[in-house]
Structure 1
Amino acid sequence: MTSSDTAPVAIISRNDDSRLGTPLLVFLHGYGSNEQDLMGLSRYLPEEFTYLSARAPLQAGPGFCWFPLTQEIDYSSEAVSHSVVALWQLLEPLSKQHSSITLLGFSQGMAMATSLARYQREAITAVVGLSGFAVEPRDLEIFDDEKLQQNPIPLFWGRDLADPVITQDKIAFTLGWVSKHAELTSETYPQIGHSVSMDELEDVDAFLKKVVLGQE
């Protein structure tokens, strides 16, 4: 399915009337990957959800990215803003068809997930960030962090403290940002590096059941 020439391509776990009224979870892949990458995680997560996986709009080697990165994983605010708005163009029509929208982002996908929550707080129920970071605003007018301070987003953040990819300045900013803007569930997983583990997926499953589905 596609939304427009500027919005990301996406695949969805069910595209018939059975998805209407269900909670929607949106997978946002990392740099250089594609929409197929995270979809397999859905088998370990609650069956009540409909799962959608979006492809980032920019080419990055054999895959795609949400915004260009340098070796220091720096980025331009303009590119972040463009991708966030494009992603919302894809999700806004779906938001009217589902009971809630939750975002799950890996690596750069976590930057996108937290950024979309900063852009459309009322539309996003919760965020799951895996081995990623939040971007610094840098005059990004689309972010409304004040609204998030008033209504913090439930956020699960899982990572390895020794992640070899996400730089310490990005982690430091994210630690400060989540303290003011999120209801944080933070878990660390030694030895996973820049990846996802089964223990982590079990914790994500529990988080989604509690925060989104209201199950104890």
Structure 2
Amino acid sequence: MSESPKVLWSRPESERAGTPLLVLFHGYGADEADLFGLAGQLPAEFTVASVQAPLQAGPGRAWFPLRTDLSYTLDSVTDAAAGVEAWLDSVRGAHTSVTLFGFSQGMSMATTLLRHRPADYAAVVGLSGFVVEVDGHPYFDDAATAAAKPEVFWGRDQADPVIPASAVEYTNTWLRAHTELTKVLYTGIWHGINAQEMAHVGEFLRHKVLN
């Protein structure tokens, strides 16, 4: 992803300076418009930027191939993250902080960025998603992440039919070992987001980022 990604912004450029930035990463098969509708349910102090994933996936987009796809590699994950990071580095100077918000596969992107440069981010919100298993890949600085203990909100439904149990188990273990974790379980949202969860996300962001 060499060129800057397509981004939807909640404010015009002239109104972004000095605001905290909240970056949204959509799920597999969706696009940058998918989560952008949530911007109005988030604390108004944030400038929200919803980023388009680099790969085509059916009618939508993907950050990297699915684990079940033969073209999946950890390099496909880190290549996507490096592209987003380059874009972030071009805009972060205007903002007081950067927080990452990912849904489903987008949570993998948010946590991958966190694991590369944990000091860069105020917090991460991950909904109905997972953390990638890395097996010692050099891009992921898990020692620095564990030392920083970043604030992470993880919301999900135990009946989520999309994320495999093994990925949930790995994610739970990794988050508990490396982050200051706020974990909330919901019923009836399956692989989705509801108003109660968004209210909890708003509280988390106010308490952990805006205070």
Same fold (TM over 0.5): yes
CA contact (8 A) 2:2 2:83 kept: no
Give yes or no for the alignment of 1:121 onto 2:121: no
Q: Distance in 2 between matches of 1:164 and 1:72?
A: 19
Q: Which amino acid aligns with 1:134?
A: V
Instruction: State the number of aligned residues.
Output: 211
Given candidates 153, 161, 165, the residue that maps to 1:164 is 161
Q: Distance in 2 between matches of 1:174 and 1:212?
A: 23
Residue aligning to 2:200: 203
Residue aligning to 2:102: 105
Give yes or no for the alignment of 1:31 onto 2:28: yes
Given candidates 87, 90, 93, the residue that maps to 1:90 is 87
5 Å-filtered alignment, 1:1-216, equals: 5-71=2-68, 75-214=72-211
CA contact (8 A) 1:7 1:57 kept: no
**What is the CA deviation profile of residues 4-54 of structure 1, one whole-angstrom value per residue up to 9, with x for unaligned ones?**
844421111112322101000000000011100101101111000000000
Q: Shift of residue 93 of structure 1? A: 1.4
Name the SS of the counterpart of 1:104 in structure 2: strand
Q: Distance in 2 between matches of 1:73 and 1:167?
A: 18
CA contact (8 A) 1:29 1:37 kept: yes
Structure 1 runs of 4+ off > 3 angstroms? 4-7, 70-75
Moved more, 12-21 or 49-58: 12-21
Give the number of the structure whose residues are more often helix, by fraction.
Answer: 2
Name the SS of the counterpart of 1:53 in structure 2: strand
Q: Which amino acid aligns with 1:14?
A: R
Name the SS of the counterpart of 1:38 in structure 2: helix
TM-score normalised by structure 2 residue count: 0.96
Where in structure 1 are there 5+ consecutive unaligned residues? none
**What is the CA deviation profile of residues 112-162 of structure 1, one whole-angstrom value per residue up to 9, with x for unaligned ones?**
001100012111110000000000113421110000111111000000011
Q: Distance in 1 between matches of 2:93 and 2:171?
A: 30
Q: 1:21 to 1:182 in 2, by over 3 A?
A: same
CA contact (8 A) 1:29 1:109 kept: yes
Q: 1:47 to 1:116 in 2, by over 3 A?
A: same
TM-score normalised by structure 1 residue count: 0.94
Q: Distance in 1 between matches of 2:4 and 2:149?
A: 27
